[in-house]
Structure formats: structure tokens, C-alpha cells
Amino acid sequence: MNTTPIFAALAALILISPSQANEHLEPEYSQFARAGLPDSATSLRPYHEIIISVLDGAFDPDISARLIAMPSFTPEYALGIREVEGTYKVFHLASRSQLWSYENLKTLRGLADAGGFPGQDENLANAIAEYEALLPPDYHDVQTDYCEVEIPSGMASDLLEIWESVLLETRYGDQEPIGPDGTDYHFSMRASGVIMAGKTWRPDPLSKTGALVSITETMKNLCLTGDQNLLAQLEPQIEAMQVELTP
């Protein structure tokens, strides 16, 4: 999509996301924790509910561990581990449309209803038309792509232990700076009957959360390509993470 002047003027407001600490996840305040938060809890609740609706399969009962990834400029996706009768599979479920675009469209329509900006009526109308051409009118009609690939039970057990260990270190950071773009990563799982959830944004690759994100990238590539050689790539990543998490 070509960036119109009106969209460029709004980009700083629309695309800013909070950043998170690197060495640990931070507590969730979103619907991904499935906590039934009130509307006032987060202004992103409508967006998160759209993601949950479109990526509904990522919240099936047989999902042992889950990541919801929200890139700034590409479609959102879910990734994790599914267990069915003792068989473990890495799954990847991706939206074909960037769901954040519905929020951008809502903002632009609100501006138009409020009278827009002086001299920008045509640009505003063009920006709205571009979004409308890209998106199904109803987000419930957004299409998704799904893949899954079986992994050894021992590897799955190691991955689940890593997921849980990182989530158990979740805590609030000292500060919450902002940045213009990047990917938000929302991790969650159920362990010992408790739903645990934590998030990070643009983690340092050398941090624990950065290492976990790197593992999920290999998992994603394994699922999307079906290349079994990526299992061998996962093994040293898992081993290094286990050492990092050892007290």
C-alpha cells in the first residue's frame, strides 16, 4: 500500500508500541491471558479480541504452549505445541491479513466522521479506500493458513519446560519505554492448572527472551518448510537455553 500523507501523519500515533525488558517477560494486561479483562484495562482490547477470533485454533484445549506474535507490518500469527494422545506437534496459524489494519481503518473512519484535516479530504478518502480494498468487510471472514509438524516427545518436553521456566520468571520491569515498530510476543501456557502469560517486545537476541524468540523462529521455519534438518538446528538452541535457565 502506498503511504498517503494523512497516513504518514498518523503513523507515529498508530504504530507506537511499548517495549519490554529483555531478560524476562512482563505480566500480561491483554486478553491473551484469557482473564476477562474490563474494557478499561487496555485500549488494545478490541484488537486483541479480533486476533483471538481469527486465530481461534491457537486456543484449543490440546494446545500445550502458545505464542501470539504481532509484527508491526506483517500479519499476526500463532505458534506453539499441540499434544494429541501423546503425540506432539509444532503448529503455526497465521492470518492472511494484518489485523491491526482494522484498527487503522477504524481510526481513519473516525477522523473522516469528525471532519478530517483541512485540505486532506482526498488523501483521507484514498487511505480509507485502500484499506477497504485490502480487508474483508468483516474480520470474521479473514482467511488463515495452518501447518503442523510432529516433533519427538523428548524435544517437546524440553520446549515445554523452557516455556514454563521463562514464564515463571515473568515480572514487571523498571521502565516501559516506547518505540515506533517491532514485534510484540505474547507467550502463554497452562501448567499445574494455572494459566501463565507474559510478553516481550523486540528482545535483545542475547537475552533469555531473545533466545526463546529465536527458538520459536526455528519452530516456525520447521513447520512452514517441513525441513526435518531444522530439528538438528533446534537441539543446540534448546541445550543453550537450558544452560541459561539453570540456577
Q: Which residue has the higher pLDDT, 8 or 124?
A: 124
Residue 71, C-alpha cell as written in the block = 509484527
Whether the pLDDT of residue 20 is over 50: the answer is no
This prediction's pTM = 0.85
Q: Is 69 helix (H, G, I), strand (E, B) or coil?
A: strand
Q: What are phi and psi of 75, to 5 degrees?
A: -60, 150
The per-residue pLDDT for range 80-120, each reduced to its tens digit, is: 999 999 999 999 999 999 999 999 999 999 999 988 888 88
Whether the pLDDT of residue 169 is over 90: the answer is yes
Sign of the dihedral defined by the CA atoms of residues 176, 28, 172, 205, in that order: negative
Residue 110, C-alpha cell as written in the block = 473516525
Position 34 scores a pLDDT of 52
Chain-wide mean pLDDT for the chain? 86
C-alpha pair distances (Å), 197 with each of 17, 98, 123: 18, 23, 41
Query: Band of the pLDDT at 28, cuts 50, 70, 90?
Result: confident
Beta bridge partners of 149: 90
What's the CA gap between 187 and 166, in Å, rounded? 9
The per-residue pLDDT for range 61-90, each reduced to its tens digit, is: 999 999 999 999 999 999 999 999 999 999
Residue range 48-69: mean pLDDT, rounded: 95
Residue range 113-134: mean pLDDT, rounded: 92
Whether the pLDDT of residue 179 is over 50: the answer is yes
Whether the pLDDT of residue 48 is over 50: the answer is yes
Position 45 scores a pLDDT of 82
Residue range 12-35: mean pLDDT, rounded: 56
> Out of 33-42, 162-171, 232-241, which region has the weakest mean confidence (pLDDT)?
33-42
Whether the pLDDT of residue 15 is over 50: the answer is no
Other Cβ atoms less than 10 A from the Cβ of 145: the count is 12
The per-residue pLDDT for range 219-240, each reduced to its tens digit, is: 999 999 999 999 999 999 999 9
Name residue 199's amino acid.
K
Q: Which residue has the higher pLDDT, 226 or 179?
A: 226
